[in-house]
Amino acid sequence: MTQTTLGEPMAVEMAKQQRQISVAEFFEKNRHLLGFDNPKKALLTTVKEAVDNSLDACEEAGILPEIKVDVFDMEEDRYRVRIEDNGPGIVKKHIPKVFASLLYGSKFHKLQQSRGQQGIGISASVMYAQLTTGRPVKIKSKIGPDEQAYYFELKIDTEKNKPEIVTEETIEWDKDHGLQIELDLEGTYRKGKRSIDEYIKQTSIVNPHVTLIYTNPRSEQLIFTRAAEQLPREPKEIKPHPDGVELGLLTKMLERTNTRTLTGFLQEEFTRVGRGTAEDICENATLRSDRVPSRMKRKHAEQLLKGIQQTDIMNPPTDCISPIGEELLEKGMRKEVNAEFYCTVTRKPEVYRGYPFQIEVGIAYGGEQSKDSTVNVLRYANRVPLLYQKGACAFTQTAGDVNWKTYGLDQSGNNVPRGPATIVVHMASPWVPFTSESKEAIAHYDEILDEVKLAMQQAGRKLQKYTKKKTRIKKEKKKRNMIEQYLPHVAVGLKELLDLTSAEEKEIVEKLEAVLQEDRGELEDIEFDPDANPEYDEEFAKIGREDDESD
């Protein structure tokens, strides 16, 4: 049927339904894409977005972060979330847009390692709060000791994706600089796995330079004091690498550039392209090097892309990545995981789709961890714990692909191993390939999978030395106990058989005991409790460290 009953073409009737959809309206309907699919997750996501922003801001400004997180139970499934940082604050002009319009931020166009990257995190929380309680977000901001502090109450006009200022005033705020955000939203608070408490604890493991003061809805205060006084190395901003560029982006870059020649464009807009490489690319693309980029047609852009693919270009620089480092990662793990052995591995930087990245793995073994459950795999991207979508994440898949049995853990098939251990996996990169906007799982790029596997195997080998030694010590101790038990009987038997005097019998016992002591060697210093008595943790950790050093 191509006509309506009134004789109008159907297309005309259908055209009446066509409308622009604002990005805010889209995400209002698809809130699950941003991590708001259920009340428990919504509460966690809100805290996470605000804390991640505070940490990013403090580090960018060179300030050691001190963050206060308060979650109040307002009853009837409503919660008030208040996060306050000692960061640089936000200038007055930008406050409404940052918090009350989606896709507005300072990080999306910058290729620099940070927790946030999309410009949608905090405004999505504001939108969710508004949707579920109708209340505006409340912001306090101060950018310096001699500056005026501001207070805003904001709502999002979702149809236009624009901020609506409910209140704007100057206030007294007894603080040199910083930002405070307060949101009322519907949620559910629970402790345990994937809770706010867990997120805060996991954050403190890989951010040993941060102090977090957290009060949960049950009015319990948890203080995570910093274990390191230095900030992570500041990651440098980089330009895109030609290997990662796709046709759409290349066309846009050609249209927008101010450069006047193709070689100029390649050198100016990309990293690792000097004059020689730029000329090689033009030659491989059969394009003249003095072509004006903004006048190039689509087919030329395609040619250029092929030229890029055929040219050998040096890997991107790696000073745009700031890993945690083996020492600090171990420090963080020691602070929060009660184990008897710790080891960490920081791999060298690698590249996927033109983006550099670096993988780190840490293992904490034994101690008070349960022997009978699946190993706790803590996943992190740019120092942010990933608590959801475990099954969809490249890290989980790799944890199952490694043969952990060799390293002393139980494993069935390609599953995550079982045993008293925690495995930390961290990816640092100026662009992390998340599987969705809610930033919960890492996409399966081969280069990333390979690196994670190598890092896990490397850490696994360190663990293996420890578990092997531990098993040997356990066996020897058992043997020794047995012999010790029978020694007096052996002596009596010998006395009768060989017709010895009591003095001779005593001498033989002493000799046998001495041999036993010699055999025992290192056992002399280490008492072993098979139930991993924490009293002996330090002794066992010592074995681990010795092994590390001899590596």
Comparing CB distances to ligand ATP, the nearer of 88 and 217 is: 88
Cα radius of gyration (the chain):
31
Strands 350-352 and 355-365: antiparallel
Phi, psi dihedrals of residue 460, rounded to the nearest 5°? -60, -40
Among positions 44-63, residues that touch ligand ATP (CB under 6 A) are 49, 53-54, 57
For residue 47, the minimal CB distance to ligand ATP (Å) is 13
Phi, psi dihedrals of residue 175, rounded to the nearest 5°? -165, 145
Distance CA 177, CA 357 (A): 33
For residue 80, the minimal CB distance to ligand ATP (Å) is 18
Comparing CB distances to ligand ATP, the nearer of 106 and 458 is: 106
For residue 120, the minimal CB distance to ligand ATP (Å) is 4
Q: Do 191 and 222 meet the contact criterion of CB atoms below 8 Å apart?
A: no
Cβ count near 427 (within 10 Å): 25
Among positions 319-348, residues that touch ligand ATP (CB under 6 A) are none
Q: Which residues contact 299 (CB under 8 A, 6 or more apart)?
A: none
Among positions 381-420, residues that touch ligand ATP (CB under 6 A) are none
End-to-end CA distance of the chain, in Å? Answer: 77
Q: Do 49 and 121 meet the contact criterion of CB atoms below 8 Å apart?
A: yes
Distance CA 383, CA 372 (A): 29
The length of the chain is 551
Q: Dump strand ranges (E) for 400-460.
A: 421-428
Sketch the per residue contact string, 164 through 193, with ligand ATP: x for CB under 6 A, - otherwise: ---------------x--------------
The first and second tokens of residue 239, run together, are 């330009």
Comparing CB distances to ligand ATP, the nearer of 105 and 366 is: 105
Comparing CB distances to ligand ATP, the nearer of 179 and 304 is: 179
Q: Which residues bind Mg ion (CB under 5 A)?
A: 53, 116, 121
Contact pick of 98, 139, 245, 285 for ligand ATP (by CB under 6 A) = 98
If one asks whether residue 85 binds ligand ATP (CB under 6 A), the answer comes out as yes
For residue 99, the minimal CB distance to ligand ATP (Å) is 8
Nearest to 221 by CA among 82, 51, 86, 71: 71
Cβ count near 329 (within 10 Å): 25
Comparing CB distances to ligand ATP, the nearer of 120 and 423 is: 120
232, interface contact from Mg ion, ligand ATP, none, CB < 5-8 Å by kind: none
123, interface contact from Mg ion, ligand ATP, none, CB < 5-8 Å by kind: ligand ATP
Q: Do 304 and 291 meet the contact criterion of CB atoms below 8 Å apart?
A: no
- Residue type (1 letter), 70: D
For residue 235, the minimal CB distance to ligand ATP (Å) is 15
Contact pick of 22, 86, 101, 117 for ligand ATP (by CB under 6 A) = 117
Distance CA 417, CA 414 (A): 9
Size of the site for ligand ATP (CB under 6 A): 21
If one asks whether residue 455 binds ligand ATP (CB under 6 A), the answer comes out as no
Comparing CB distances to ligand ATP, the nearer of 118 and 284 is: 118
List % helix, strand, coil for the chain (3-state, nearest 5): 45, 20, 35
If one asks whether residue 121 binds ligand ATP (CB under 6 A), the answer comes out as yes
Contact pick of 120, 266, 329, 463 for ligand ATP (by CB under 6 A) = 120
For residue 51, the minimal CB distance to ligand ATP (Å) is 9
The residue with its CB nearest to ligand ATP is: 116
Comparing CB distances to Mg ion, the nearer of 54 and 467 is: 54
- Residue type (1 letter), 440: E
Q: Give, to the nearest 10 degrees, the angle between helix 262-269 and helix 275-284.
A: 120
The first and second tokens of residue 289, run together, are 């090097």
Contact pick of 113, 123, 271, 457 for ligand ATP (by CB under 6 A) = 123
Comparing CB distances to ligand ATP, the nearer of 53 and 132 is: 53
98, interface contact from ligand ATP, Mg ion, none, CB < 5-8 Å by kind: ligand ATP
HSE of 113 in the Cβ direction (CA atoms, 13 Å)?
25
Contact pick of 87, 242, 349, 460 for ligand ATP (by CB under 6 A) = 87
Comparing CB distances to ligand ATP, the nearer of 33 and 74 is: 33
The residue with its CB nearest to Mg ion is: 116
Q: Do 383 and 332 meet the contact criterion of CB atoms below 8 Å apart?
A: no
For residue 532, the minimal CB distance to ligand ATP (Å) is 40
Contact pick of 51, 71, 81, 90 for ligand ATP (by CB under 6 A) = 90
Comparing CB distances to ligand ATP, the nearer of 107 and 135 is: 107
Contact pick of 35, 65, 105, 244 for ligand ATP (by CB under 6 A) = 105
125-135 per-residue burial string, b: 16 or more CB within 10 A, e: under 16: bbbbbbbbbeb
Distance CA 360, CA 427 (A): 7
For residue 115, the minimal CB distance to Mg ion (Å) is 7
Q: Do 85 and 94 meet the contact criterion of CB atoms below 8 Å apart?
A: no
Which residues of the chain form contacts with ligand ATP (CB under 6 A)? 49, 53-54, 57, 85, 87-88, 90, 98, 105-107, 116-123, 179
